[in-house]
Amino acid sequence: MAHIKSRKHVLPHSAPRSLGAASLIGLALGLPAVAAAQSTGGPAPDTPTRTLDEVRVDGHRLKRYSGESSSPKFTQPLLDTTRTLDIINADLFNEQGATTLTEALRNTPGVSTFYVGENGNTTTGDAVYMRGFDSSGSIFVDGVRDLGSITRDVFNLEQIEVAKGPAGTDYGRTAPTGSINLVTKRAHLRDAGSATLSAGSADHRRLTADWNRVLGGGSALRLNLMAQDGGTPGRDVVENMRWGIAPSLGFGLGSATRVYLDLLHVQQENLPDGGVPTIGLPGYTSPDPERPEIGAAPPVDPENFYGTHRDHDDVTADMATVRIEHDLRPGAQLVNTTRWGRTDQEYMLTAFMADAGRLLTPDPADPSTWTLARNLPTFKDQRNEILANQTALVLSLEQGNLRHDISAGLELSREELATRGVVALDGSAWPDANLYRPDPDVTGLHWGPNGARGDGRTDTVAAWLFDTLSIGERWKLNGGIRVDDYTAEFSSLVPCGGRRGPDCGGAPEGEIVPGVDAEVSDTLFNWKLGALYKPADNGSLYASYAVSHQPPGGGNLELSGSASSADNPAFDPQEARTAEIGTKWEFADGGLLLTAALFDTEVRNEVVQDPTDQQYYQTGRKQVRGVELGVVGHVTRDWVVSAGYSHMDTEVLDGPAVTADGSSVLAYTPEDSFTAWSTWQPVPGLTLGGGARYMGELARGRDGAVGTPTHTEDYWVVDAVAGYAFNEHFELRLNLYNLLDEEYVAAINKSGYRYTPGAPRSALLTANFHF
Return the pLDDT at 9: 35
Average pLDDT score over the chain = 89
Q: What percent of the chain has pLDDT over 70?
A: 91
719 CB burial (10 A radius; 0-12, 13-18, 19+): buried
Do you know the residue count of the chain?
Answer: 771
Q: What is the DSSP string of 153-187?
A: B-TTEEEEEEEES--HHHHSS--TTEEEEEEEP--
Share of the chain above pLDDT 90, in %: 78
Q: Give the torsion through C-alpha atoms of 694, 696, 700, 701, to 10 deg.
A: -100
pTM of the model: 0.89
The helix (run of H) or strand (run of E) holding residue 144 is strand 144-145
Average pLDDT over residues 81-92: 94
pLDDT number for residue 704 = 85
The answer on pLDDT for 513 being more than 50 is yes
The confidence score (pLDDT) of residue 37 equals: 35
Residue 67, domain member (yes or no): no
In a domain, 563, yes or no: yes
**Predicted pLDDT at 359:** 96
CA distance 253 to 630: 35
* Residue 116 banded pLDDT, cuts 50, 70, 90: confident
- Going by pLDDT thresholds of 50, 70 and 90, the confidence category of residue 115 is confident
- Quick one: average pLDDT of 492-521? 88
Q: Above 90 in pLDDT, residue 457? A: yes
Angstrom distance (rounded) from CA 65 to CA 591: 10
Q: pLDDT tens-digit profile of 249-290?
A: 999 999 999 999 999 999 999 999 999 999 999 999 999 999
Q: What's the pLDDT band for 768 if we cut at 50, 70, 90?
A: very high
What is the reported pLDDT for 26? 36
Specify the pLDDT at position 120: 61
Asked if residues 210 and 771 have their Cβ atoms less than 8 Å apart, the reply is no
In a domain, residue 64? The reply is no
Going by pLDDT thresholds of 50, 70 and 90, the confidence category of residue 296 is very high
CA 527 to CA 480: how far, in whole Å? 5
DSSP secondary structure of 504-553 = -TTSPTT-EEEEEEEEEEEEEEEEEEEEEEEEETTEEEEEEEEEEEE-TT
Residue 17: inside a domain, yes or no? Answer: no
| Whether the predicted pLDDT of 140 surpasses 60 | yes
Residue-number span of the structural domain to which 734 is assigned: 78-770
What average pLDDT does the segment 19-34 reach?
Answer: 34
Tell me the three state secondary structure of residue 109: coil
Q: What does the pLDDT read at residue 127?
A: 85
Return the CA Rg of the chain: 28
> Which domain CATH number covers 667?
2.40.170.20
Average pLDDT over residues 140-158: 93
Nearest-CA neighbor of 274 among 150, 116, 414?
116
Closest CA to 703 of 110, 117, 273: 117
Mean pLDDT of 160-166: 93
Domain-located, residue 565: yes
Q: What is the per-residue pLDDT across 637-648, written as a single tens digit (0 to 9) for each? A: 999 999 999 999
Q: How far is CA 269 from the centre of its chain?
A: 21
**Inside any domain, residue 27:** no
- Mean pLDDT along residues 415-430: 94
Return d(Cα 758, Cα 738) in angstroms, integer: 9
In a domain, 516, yes or no: yes
Residue 18 has pLDDT above 60, yes or no: no
Quote the CA–CA distance of 429 and 374 in Å, as a whole number. 7
What would the pLDDT profile of 647-691 be if each residue is shown by its tens digit?
A: 999 999 999 999 999 999 999 999 999 999 999 999 999 999 999
Residue 24 binned pLDDT confidence (cut-offs 50, 70, 90): very low
Sign of the Cα torsion 198, 199, 201, 205 reads positive
Are the C-beta atoms of 534 and 80 separated by less than 8 Å?
yes
Total structural domains within the chain: 1
Q: C-alpha distances in angstroms, 678 versus 155, 494, 646, 691, 724? A: 22, 52, 18, 6, 16
The predicted pLDDT at position 10 comes to 35
The dihedral sign for the CA sequence 151, 147, 110, 597? positive
pLDDT on residue 61: 54
pLDDT at 21: 34
* pLDDT at residue 49 tops 80: no
Structure confidence by residue, pLDDT tens digits, 212-245:
999 999 999 999 999 999 999 999 999 999 999 9
User: Strands 129-130 and 762-770: what pairing?
Assistant: unpaired
**Could you tell me if 526 and 481 are in contact, meaning their C-beta atoms sit under 8 angstroms apart?**
yes
Q: Residue 40 above 50 pLDDT?
A: no
Q: For 15-23, what is the mean pLDDT?
A: 35
Q: What span, in angstroms and rounded, lies between the C-alpha atoms of 529 and 514?
A: 45
